[in-house]
Amino acid sequence: MTAVLIACAHGTRFEEGRVVVRALLKVLRETAPEGVEVHEAYVDVHGPYVTDVVAAARERTDDIVIVPLLLSTGYHTEVDLVEAAGGLPIARALGPHPVLAEILADRVRATGADESDTVVLAAAGSTRPGAVVDVERMAELMTDAGVAGPIVTAYAAASEPRIPDAVNAARSAGRRTVAASYVLAPGHFSRVIEKADADLTSEPIGADPRLAEVVWERWREARGGTAAASTAGVADAGGRAEGAEPVEASGRAAAEGAEPVEASGRESAPVPSTSSGTSAAEGAEPVVASGRESAPVPSTSSGTSRRAHLAKRIARVTGRVVLGTFLAALATIVVLAAAGLSEDRGVRRRRRA
């Protein structure tokens, strides 16, 4: 029976980021075990969406594992992928992992950094506490990988400290700063890191061939039942147990996974990432296993998932509008009640007089 690894990246509006993801997919297909196909999928921004890829794979096999091409746990791994999987095993995020630490250490050394520099491990950020734990662990692993100088963690959004603040704090202490870009590919967050104005900034992790080792390790764990599915505890690269966090009824923070809206060739403020895509669906590309093409994944331009994405977005917007209306009405009631109470007190004073 054919086995399928669904390699699910976040998705980006930046073509240079998409090129990196496709290059990584090529490496995975070249290193795939016999009889294992690697299917391309995205959780946000553009297709092929993971819900469609899962549906297409189910028609051919039951041996399916979703591996997030994401560096840390977060809303996408704990909520969006769980919904899309429908009970299929989901591997852990790629990080923390010693191989990632080696890649990051190489990227830092390539900038010309030395042991007197402060390294700011610059991550995207998430509202999920597990994401911060993951990034802190990556900083420890980078030390193990040979980064001699002090390492501090910082975030582009959602978590504290923010990257510019960490850079300024190190600089005020008289140290040269190196921003270690803890992002997979060029895109919105790599630009945020560059704008933090560190003295040196490393390149994103990119399609480093060593990543294939991490991806296939995660696939084997999940396929064999040793990795965390959506509700099971897992052990990270440092060996400590880590339970899956509960899914919150409220949505994720606006900044998590945010991508800028492009208008007339310029960037505007980041837009909250949601499990639905906001750009036009792209035609599906054929997936390849061990050098041979398999059936193409259907585009989401026609299919139920696109309608489901739209329904989710409408539900979120409607919920915000209803909540806003309720709060406004409540505020009006409070103001009127306060005014009535004040008037009643005035009448009583006049009567006493």
Q: Are residues 75 and 107 in the same domain?
A: no
In this structure, are 88 and 102 located in the same domain? no
Instruction: Give the tokens for residue 26.
Output: 């090529």
Q: Are residues 76 and 213 in the same domain?
A: yes
Peptide bond into 161 cis (omega under 30): yes
Q: What is the pLDDT, as a whole number, of residue 349?
A: 61
Give the HSE-up count for residue 342: Cα atoms under 13 Å, Cβ half-sphere: 6
Closest CA to 247 of 134, 88, 90, 80: 80
**Same domain membership, residue 125 and residue 171:** yes
pLDDT of residue 352: 62
What pLDDT shows up at residue 350? 59
Q: How many domains does the chain have?
A: 3
- The rounded average pLDDT for each run of 10 residues, N- to C-terminus, in the chain (353 residues) is 94 97 98 98 97 98 98 94 97 98 98 97 95 97 97 97 98 96 97 97 98 98 68 34 33 43 37 35 34 37 48 54 64 68 62 60
- Is there a single domain that holds both residue 217 and residue 279? yes
Report residue 96: phi and psi, to 5°.
-80, 150
**75 Cβ partners below 8 Å, 6+ apart?**
126, 127, 128, 252, 256, 257
Domain boundary among 171, 201, 231: 201
Same domain, 25 and 166: no
For residues 194 and 336, state if they share a domain: no
What pLDDT score does 136 carry?
Answer: 98
- Predicted pLDDT at 321: 53
Instruction: Quote the pLDDT of residue 322.
Output: 57
Residue type, 94: L
Residues 88 and 230 occupy one common structural domain = yes
CB 106, CB 157: distance < 8 Å: no
Could you give the CA distance from residue 76 to residue 65 in angstroms, rounded to a whole number?
16
pLDDT for 211: 98
**In a shared domain, residues 135 and 154:** yes
Domain boundary among 147, 176, 201: 201
CB count within 10 Å of CB 342 equals: 9
User: pTM for this one?
Assistant: 0.68
Regarding whether 244 and 225 lie in a shared domain, the answer is yes
CATH number at residue 288: 3.40.50.1400
CA distance 73 to 94: 9
What's the confidence (pLDDT) of residue 225? 80
Q: Is 344 helix (H, G, I), strand (E, B) or coil?
A: helix
Same domain flag for 182 and 213 = no
pLDDT of residue 183: 98
**Whether 70 contacts 110, CB under 8 Å:** no
What is the predicted pLDDT for the residue at 153? 98
Residues of the domain holding 111: 98-201
Q: Note whether 274 and 343 are same-domain residues.
A: no
pLDDT attached to residue 250: 34
Query: Which of 201, 231, 262 delimits the end of a domain?
Result: 201
